Amino acid sequence: MSLDAKTVAKMARLARVGLSDEQVHTYQKEMQGIIGWVDQLNEVDVTDVPPMIGTGLAQPRLRDDQVTDGNCREKVLSNAPDREGPFYTVPKVVE
């Protein structure tokens, strides 16, 4: 499968990673190489093989519906890059 520059730019937009045109070009070449290499998986017959979801070792479990943590607003906010009182700040999103 070919991975063109337009696709790389689209992935960068979806992943919210800002890239220059030059970077798009570099990543396109590298990603094309990696995708070409993983294409060998098409050789494997996976008919009727279920996908592995987790290792199946941990038992799903229930716990009591009780509050055991929380009430630590200052801790939660302690690493905020920018805040106003008990709020995180972001650029205006509503016009």
Partner 1 sequence: MSSIFDYTLASAREALRTRKISAVELVDAHIEAIERLDDGLNSFITRTPEQARLAAKEADALLAKGEGGSLCGLPIGIKDLFATEGVRTTAASKILGNFVPPYESTVTANLKRDGAISLGKLNLDEFAMGSTNLTSAFGGVENPWKRRDSDAKLVPGGSSGGSAAAVAAGLVLGATGTDTGGSIRQPAAFCGIAGIKPTYGRCSRFGTIAFASSLDQAGPMARNLQDCAILLESMAGFDPKDSTSVNRPVPHYEAALGRGVKGLKVGIPKEYRIDGLPAEIEAIWQQGINWLKEAGAEVVDISLPHTKYGLPAYYIAALAEASSNLARYDGVRFGERVKGESLDALYEATRAAGFGDEVKRRILLGTYVLSSGYYDAYYLRAQKVRTLLQRDFLKAYETVDVILAPTAPSGAFAWDEKPTDPVQVYLNDVFTVPASMAGVPALSVPAGLDSRGVPLGLQLIGRFFDEETLLAAGSVLEKAASFTHRPTIHAGVSA
For partner 1, what does the binding mask look like between residues 3 and 22, x meaning CB under 8 A?
Answer: x---xx--xx-xxxxxx---
Please, what is the minimum distance in Å from the beta carbon of residue 60 to partner 1?
8
Q: Which helix (H) or strand (E) holds 10?
A: helix 5-14
Check: CB of residue 62 under 8 Å from CB of residue 55: no
Site for partner 1 in 24-83 (CB under 8 A): 27, 30-31, 33-35, 37-38, 40-44, 46, 49-55, 57-61, 63, 72, 75-76, 78-82
DSSP for 11-78 reads HHHHTT----HHHHHHHHHHHHHHHHHHGGGGGS--TTPPPP-S-S-SPP----S---S---HHHHHT
Q: Which residues bind partner 1 (CB under 8 A)?
A: 1, 3, 7-8, 11-12, 14-19, 27, 30-31, 33-35, 37-38, 40-44, 46, 49-55, 57-61, 63, 72, 75-76, 78-82, 88, 90-91, 93
